[in-house]
Amino acid sequence: MIRTVETTPYTDQKPGTSGLRKKVPVFQQKNYAENFIQSVFDALEGFAGKTLVIGGDGRYFNREVIQKAIAMAAANGFGKVIVGQGGILSTPAASNVIRKYKAFGGLVLSASHNPGGPHEDFGIKYNIGNGGPAPEKITDAIFARTKAIKSYKIAETGEVDIDTVKTFDVAGMTVDVIDPVKDYAELMESLFDFGAIRALFAGGFRMRFDAMHAVTGPYAKEILENRLGAANGTARNFRPLEDFGGHHPDPNLVHAKHLYDEMMGPNAPDFGAASDGDGDRNLIIAKGIFIPPSDSLAMLAANAHLAPGYKAGLKGIARSMPTSGAADRVAEKLGVGMYETPTGWKFFGNLLDAGMATICGEESAGTGSDHVREKDGLWAVLLWLNILAVRKESARQIAEKHWATFGRNYYSRHDYEEVDSDAANRLVSELREKLDTLKGTKVRGLTVEKADDFAYHDPVDGSISEHQGIRVLFEGGSRFVVRLSGTGTSGATLRLYVERYEKDRLDLDTQEALADLIGAADDIAGIRSHTGRNKPSVIT
């Protein structure tokens, strides 16, 4: 039985760079999730009889929304739903399943690295048939629909069993409950030299992987311990919990400090890594050395040919604008294209689909390749392991040799979280207004070479995305970038990104090396005065 339920619109359902993200109580309002899901379906065309993939990172409210989504997919005419057992699919695994089974698209339920629980965050994102996040054209159409929606369709299915791997029929639609790990593990095995990595572990190599009680736990257990022979216990906090154990599943130096401390400690394993709530981010800390994400991207790109999946070399490298220029130097040496995109993974999709880029990355701990259309935390970890296994050097040696060859881009991001939104917007608009007057001015010994508001011209579809972050570039190659986060759920988050390139001075302390630049950014943008803060909430 299919019901048409009358509803009234909510006005706050604008999907951002990572879909619709709100606090759980907002999502729990009457028809809130249903309105959004119906709006997604209404914004799409031609899916009758086709397949929809559904899965999430297991956070609080995941199971409820999966039930609704299955019943609504049946009522709206999808032919089949593929859902991860227990409602689980990491974001990169969902992307893979969409691609592998040629699905029409997928609903990915997650709020990524944001905390989970009854009062924390939830999210719904729609991914298209290439496995990647929906482009702006579709998210705009979804948003328009949410403002006009009058009814939604839902099948009366009763509770559907998503906990047993099996195929069955629900209201005339096929439901295929799949093992969430298997397809992903097979994909990884096709890209990397599992034999070489197995030999590395068999030789006594020790590793720590912190799943932060989020979705990558089952993936890491299966791939690292079962398939690659890493010691039992290599994967820590591997049981996905609805509230991530009360922690913030964001793999950075603040929220994964225990991993950092262990890796800097006397009995540190050889290699350490962590991933976020939905498994698309990665943090790499080797014994005694933190590898900043922008550097990790550059090092992976420089060595990717050592893994079977990339032995033909890279077609190009893409990075988000605020990500450091370390990868640019690798692209230059390899003689391949380098693309600078706005923040957010969706901008990489066209470049990957067009075969212009093979590896992409963001400073926010996201790295990935053309194997899926999302960033992929475990993929980055496995590529590192493959490189370590082939080069037979430590991660520290690899990093130091890399810097000796290419120079070093000292880099840091300062986040001011939960800032008053009006104050944050004022800061950005005042800075924007004075961009033209900055050129040639000297601040703390640094001369401004260029200042602009980044606009991206997509080389594939010609679309233009404006206001993607304000850049101030100084003579000598230093720069800072200011932009407002598109993923925070309370107040505004102001991000300041600072970068300084050094050809030969390779062992400076990062924050010290950047101190003048940070001061100059404050002088120019008035960060302290606008935010009323005298220091950032998080430094990475």
What Å distances lie between residue 34 and 47, 186, 198, 322, 422, CA to CA? 18, 34, 46, 36, 31
The verdict on whether 324 is a catalytic residue reads no
Please name the residues in contact with 99: beta carbons below 8 A apart, sequence gap of 6 or more. 130, 131, 372, 373
Q: Give yes or no for residue 362 binding Zn ion (CB under 5 A).
A: no
Using the rule CB under 5 A, give the single segment among 25-33, 108-116, 356-364, 472-480 that binds Zn ion.
108-116
Residue with tokens 């791939």: 223
Task: Tell me which residues in 254-293 interact with ligand G1P (CB under 6 A).
Answer: none
Q: Give yes or no for residue 386 binding ligand G1P (CB under 6 A).
A: no
Residue number of the CB atom closest to ligand G1P: 485
Using the rule CB under 6 A, give the single segment among 207-215, 261-269, 386-394, 487-495 that binds ligand G1P.
487-495
Beta strands (DSSP E) in 189-336 are 207-210, 235-236, 271-275, 282-286, 289-291, 316-320
In whole angstroms, how close is the CB of 296 to ligand G1P at the nearest point? 14
Q: Give yes or no for residue 91 binding ligand G1P (CB under 6 A).
A: no
Please tell me whether residue 436 adopts helix, strand or coil conformation.
helix
Q: Give yes or no for residue 374 binding Zn ion (CB under 5 A).
A: no
- Cα torsion angle, 163, 164, 170, 175, sign: positive
Contact partner, 478, from ligand G1P, Zn ion, none, Cβ < 5-8 Å per class: none
Using the rule CB under 5 A, give the single segment among 269-277, 304-312, 384-392, 520-528 that binds Zn ion.
269-277
Task: Tell me which residues in 516-535 interact with Zn ion (CB under 5 A).
Answer: none
Distance of CA 210 to the CA centre of its chain: 17
Q: Give yes or no for residue 18 binding ligand G1P (CB under 6 A).
A: yes
Name the token pair of 216: 């990558």
Q: What angle do CA 439, 441, 442 make, to 5 degrees?
A: 135
Contact partner, 287, from Zn ion, ligand G1P, none, Cβ < 5-8 Å per class: none
Is the separation of the CB atoms in 60 and 213 below 8 Å?
A: no
Q: Give yes or no for residue 250 binding Zn ion (CB under 5 A).
A: no
Catalytic residue among 39, 95, 112, 364: 112
Tell me, residue by residue from 167 to 206, as one string, x for binding to ligand G1P by CB under 6 A and - for no binding: ----------------------------------------
Please name the residues in contact with 205: beta carbons below 8 A apart, sequence gap of 6 or more. 270, 271, 388
Contact partner, 276, from ligand G1P, Zn ion, none, Cβ < 5-8 Å per class: Zn ion
Tell me, residue by residue from 359 to 378, as one string, x for binding to ligand G1P by CB under 6 A and - for no binding: ---x-x-x------------
Please name the residues in contact with 523: beta carbons below 8 A apart, sequence gap of 6 or more. 443, 444
- Cα torsion angle, 120, 124, 130, 136, sign: negative
Contact partner, 278, from Zn ion, ligand G1P, none, Cβ < 5-8 Å per class: Zn ion
Contact partner, 234, from Zn ion, ligand G1P, none, Cβ < 5-8 Å per class: none
Query: In what helix (H) or strand (E) does residue 397 lie, and over which residues does it extend?
Result: helix 395-406
Please name the residues in contact with 53: beta carbons below 8 A apart, sequence gap of 6 or more. 81, 82, 83, 89, 94, 97, 98, 101, 103, 105, 106, 107, 127
Of 13, 15, 17, 300, which lies in the binding site for ligand G1P, with binding defined by CB under 6 A? Answer: 17
Q: Give yes or no for residue 90 binding ligand G1P (CB under 6 A).
A: no
Is the separation of the CB atoms in 105 and 98 below 8 Å?
A: yes
In whole angstroms, how close is the CB of 281 to ligand G1P at the nearest point? 7
Distance, in Å, from the CA atom of 81 to the CA atom of 372, rounded to the nearest integer, reads: 20
Residue with tokens 């082939």: 390
Nearer to ligand G1P, 19 or 84 (CB): 19
Contact partner, 139, from ligand G1P, Zn ion, none, Cβ < 5-8 Å per class: none
Distance of CA 37 to the CA centre of its chain: 22
Of 205, 238, 290, 345, which lies in the binding site for ligand G1P, with binding defined by CB under 6 A? Answer: 345
Catalytic residues: 112
Binding site for ligand G1P (CB under 6 A): 17-18, 112, 320, 343-345, 362, 364, 366, 485-488, 495
Site residues (vs Zn ion, CB under 5 A):
112, 276, 278, 280-281
